[in-house]
Amino acid sequence: MLQARAKAGDIQGSLDCIREYWGGMLDLGATTFWEDFNIDWLQNASRIDELTPLNKVDVHGTYGDYCYNGYRHSLCHGWASGPTAWLSRYVLGVEIMEAGCKVIRIKPQLGDLDWVEGKYPTPYGEIFIRHEKNTEGKVSSTIEAPKEIIIKG
């Protein structure tokens, strides 16, 4: 869904979705991507990194529609890590143009973000990327890449 929205030019909609859905997990104390999550779980829920008060819902002990209900529900599940790759591709703007990462295009799309920073692994080493938006909305970039890689804007 994030990729489809990005291809339709809706970067902001994708960022909003990430904030709501994956941000909801963070609001509940997540440090990883969960196997399953429903926005409705946020209602009256306790954080998973705290003891559950009597008047709150224990998210880990109560939910888990697609695997096991209760404590066997995975709170570290790879399928939900899609935003990580999406953020690298569309927000950091990294697109591999030639096999082996020999040529990489960097075209950031920050949406409402003021800045973004990250590292992108390649066979030649990491590329460091930082984009900052000024008050007029123009993005300036700092890119440090291994000498074997050609960076295109």
Enumerate the domain spans of the chain. 2-80, 95-152
Label residues 98-132 b or e (16+ Cβ within 10 Å = b): eeebeebebebbbbebeebebebebeeeebebebb
Averages of pLDDT over runs of 10 residues in the chain (153 residues) are 94 95 93 87 94 94 76 77 91 97 97 97 98 96 98 94
Burial of 152 (0-12, 13-18, 19+ CB in 10 A): exposed
User: What is the per-residue pLDDT for 70?
Assistant: 72
Task: Read off the pTM.
Answer: 0.84
d(CA 103, CA 67): 41
